[in-house]
Chains A and B, each alone.
Chain A
Amino acid sequence: MAVSLKASRSSAGRRRMDVVFQVAALAVLVAALAGLGALIGDVWRDGAGRLSWTFLTTFPSRRAEQAGIYHAIVGSLYVIALTAAMALPIGVASAVYLEEYGGRSRTARFIELNIANLAAVPSIIYGLLGLGLFVRALGMGRSVMAGAGTLALLALPVVILSTREALRTVPSTIREGSYALGATKWQTIWHQVLPMALPGILTGLILSLSRAIGETAPLITIGALTYIPFAPDSVWSAFTVLPIQIFNWVSRPQVAFKENAAAGILVLLALLLTMNALAIVVRDRFQRKGRP
């Protein structure tokens, strides 16, 4: 590669530019940080006053002051648990196939390319898929099941990618040792590889679920109703989730509902923080114990 440096400035001038750039870069980072700070400050100022035990444990209401968020919390937890139950086995199985069996075959490469593309498809498109597939074609209606199915498909690419990363960190000597003792391929994977990769797999799962729990657009598209005065009691009931309830409150002109939305956001952020803290704890245990 031919490189010609423009050396128009004096050496001192060039050094000064170097400092100027560093200051500019730090200014950019501080500005981004300030944006985050303004966001959290704004939400806290608007919503902290509405946060109370009653807010967390009552149902929605047409009167902003009496409205609670209980149904949406239960709905979110219901949907996310079911999403995990679907995305984890399918995601891990796909990753094991691609990492341990598929090798460099053409089919495996095609599946890989496909997963990489799916990871970048806008989430609202998954909503249209859920609407056409789960709600209409499979006749699930606007149920928890249809919502969780949609989110599971959305989370799948991330679960697969992070599981493959986790499988790659298992040293090949473990596999070879297991084969040397006469274990079959699947016995090796099930008894040696997966247990060692488990913390990494779980970290990836939790992070992808914390993405899914904040997703709004795909669930609006499948028609998760925004006014639901009850909590779901089975996988076939109608439901709403925290982000949809927040969206519903944001879209109303009255200030009191905006305050509810801000309080709902605080609840959602607290939930996300908990999930991320959990992921960090799992990752830390992995780093201390996992290495032989």
Chain B
Amino acid sequence: MSSRRAERVIEGLLFLCALVSVGTTAGIILVLSAETVAFFREVPILDFLTGTEWTPLFATQRFGVLPLVLGTVVVSVIALLVAVPTGLVSAIYLSEYAPDRVRRVVKPVLEILAGVPTVVYGYFALTFVTPTLQAWLPGLAGFNALSPGLVMGLMILPLVSSLSEDAMRAVPRGLREGAYALGATRMQTSWQVVVPAAFSGITAAVILAASRAIGETMIVAIAAGQQPRFTANPFVPIETMTAYIVQVSLGDTPQGTLEYRTIFAVGMLLFLMTFALNLLSGWLRARFREEYS
């Protein structure tokens, strides 16, 4: 029965490989919490979460993370303001209107947009979008939240569009035919029947896009600046959570120092924020799938 034993051994090995992904999650949580706990032994957690000054690399150290959080939120909101309406319109068009020929051209182009490396988007934001905007908005600083936000919107547009389109295509034909039978135009059918029916799927797409925007690093590290400010003004230099991690990683901060631990504490907060959004998005998607199967 050695061949049966070999089968069991192989199954065991495959299972071990599948566990690598579980190990990855465990590793992320372990690495982040080990350094974060050490960080909170020296900095009170309440100061970290409610402070509005972030100066860990200065002589007088302040560890209030809110400027970084606000910077992240401002850029992400700008990105979503660009990506959600345009992504939704493009999804409705692709799902309800576009002839196959148009779809075959448009979808690969959107895929290209999603496949451009983020460092390239960063270059584009810094050397093209910011100077172009400055011609219209003289008050715009060389580093700002607006330009990386707009470019990030272009980057996540394909994500919003393709996930929303999937949700709309999953809506049963019968609902559309019912609307047409009542004399509705395509536009009325799309907006008043298909979109509401696919609402949880579309929301899931938007939330996933938000999570992507919050975690995006290179665009903001290049074009948004390195000045943690507690401001919602999109025209001045700011710093996001991700850009701060990059800034410290570029320098020569020795392991075990408080400065070194700040990137793990910020990383932990970032991980928890995106994790919550991802779970919410997954839950909405699962609910959507249940509705129509």
Query: CB within 8 Å of B: which residues of A?
Result: 1, 3, 5-7, 11, 14-15, 17-18, 21-22, 24-26, 28-29, 31-33, 35-36, 38-39, 42-43, 46, 89-90, 93-94, 96-98, 101-102, 108, 110-111, 113-118, 120-129, 131-133, 136, 153, 156-157, 160, 184-186, 210-211, 213-217, 220-223, 226, 243, 246-247, 250-251, 258, 261-262, 265, 268-269, 272, 276
| Complex partner residue of A94 from B20, B183, B282, CB under 8 angstroms | B20
Give bound CA distance, A33 to B20, whole Å. 39
Among A1, A132, A160, the one with the most B-chain Cβ atoms within 10 Å of its Cβ is A132
- Minimum CB–CB distance for A67 against chain B, Å: 16
In the complex with contacts A39-B116, A111-B22, A117-B275, A133-B242 CB distance below 8 A: no
- Pair B186/A18 contact, Cβ less than 8 Å: yes
- Minimum CB–CB distance for B180 against chain A, Å: 11
- Cβ of B200: which chain A residues have Cβ within 8 Å of it? none
- Pair B275/A121 contact, Cβ less than 8 Å: yes
- Minimum CB–CB distance for A272 against chain B, Å: 7
Query: CB within 8 Å of A: which residues of B?
Result: 3-4, 6-7, 10-11, 13-15, 17-22, 24-25, 27-28, 30-32, 34-35, 86, 89-90, 92-93, 97, 106, 109-110, 112-113, 115-124, 126-128, 154, 157, 175, 178-179, 182-188, 190, 192-193, 197, 208, 211-212, 214-218, 221-222, 242, 245-246, 249-250, 255, 263-264, 267, 270-271, 274-275, 278-279, 281-282
In the complex with contacts A114-B25, A265-B120, A184-B7 CB distance below 8 A: yes
| Complex partner residue of B270 from A15, A39, A122, A265, CB under 8 angstroms | A122
- Cβ of B271: which chain A residues have Cβ within 8 Å of it? 121-122, 125
In the complex with contacts A18-B187, A221-B246, A186-B10 CB distance below 8 A: yes
- Pair A125/B215 contact, Cβ less than 8 Å: yes
Give bound CA distance, A9 to B175, whole Å. 22
In the complex with contacts A101-B11, A276-B115, A36-B90 CB distance below 8 A: no
8 extra interface residue pairs, beta carbon distance < 8 Å, beyond A14-B185, A124-B217: A36-B112, A39-B121, A90-B20, A114-B21, A121-B271, A122-B212, A136-B255, A214-B118
Q: Which residue of B lies closest to A128 (CB)?
A: B267
- Cβ of A128: which chain B residues have Cβ within 8 Å of it? 28, 31-32, 245, 263-264, 267
- Pair B89/A6 contact, Cβ less than 8 Å: no
- Minimum CB–CB distance for B128 against chain A, Å: 4
- Minimum CB–CB distance for A248 against chain B, Å: 9
- Pair A221/B249 contact, Cβ less than 8 Å: yes
Give bound CA distance, A26 to B260, whole Å. 49
| Complex partner residue of B97 from A25, A31, A35, A215, CB under 8 angstroms | A25
- Minimum CB–CB distance for B18 against chain A, Å: 4
In the complex with contacts A17-B187, A157-B21, A5-B192 CB distance below 8 A: yes
- Cβ of B183: which chain A residues have Cβ within 8 Å of it? 5, 7, 11
- Minimum CB–CB distance for B277 against chain A, Å: 8
- Cβ of B221: which chain A residues have Cβ within 8 Å of it? 217, 247
- Pair B222/A25 contact, Cβ less than 8 Å: no
- Cβ of B7: which chain A residues have Cβ within 8 Å of it? 184-186
- Pair A94/B109 contact, Cβ less than 8 Å: no
Give bound CA distance, A117 to B24, whole Å. 11
- Minimum CB–CB distance for B160 against chain A, Å: 11
Among B18, B128, B270, the one with the most A-chain Cβ atoms within 10 Å of its Cβ is B18
In the complex with contacts A31-B86, A125-B215, A118-B24 CB distance below 8 A: yes
A-B contacts, 28 listed (Cβ < 8 Å):
A3-B179, A3-B192, A5-B184, A21-B89, A25-B93, A28-B89, A35-B113, A36-B109, A39-B116, A94-B20, A110-B22, A117-B278, A120-B281, A121-B274, A122-B242, A125-B28, A125-B215, A125-B270, A128-B264, A129-B27, A129-B31, A129-B32, A136-B255, A184-B3, A214-B115, A217-B246, A220-B249, A268-B117
Q: Which residue of A lies closest to B273 (CB)?
A: A122
- Minimum CB–CB distance for B292 against chain A, Å: 11
Give bound CA distance, A21 to B94, whole Å. 12
Give bound CA distance, A117 to B211, whole Å. 12
- Pair B188/A101 contact, Cβ less than 8 Å: no
Give bound CA distance, A111 to B23, whole Å. 10
In the complex with contacts A3-B192, A94-B14, A125-B271, A29-B214 CB distance below 8 A: no
- Pair B117/A243 contact, Cβ less than 8 Å: yes
Q: Which residue of A lies closest to B264 (CB)?
A: A128
- Minimum CB–CB distance for B283 against chain A, Å: 11
- Minimum CB–CB distance for A140 against chain B, Å: 14
- Pair A5/B182 contact, Cβ less than 8 Å: yes
| Complex partner residue of A6 from B25, B192, B282, CB under 8 angstroms | B192
Give bound CA distance, A216 to B282, whole Å. 27
- Cβ of B263: which chain A residues have Cβ within 8 Å of it? 128, 221
- Cβ of B109: which chain A residues have Cβ within 8 Å of it? 32-33, 36
Give bound CA distance, A44 to B281, whole Å. 38
- Cβ of A246: which chain B residues have Cβ within 8 Å of it? 119-120, 123
- Cβ of A101: which chain B residues have Cβ within 8 Å of it? 11, 14-15
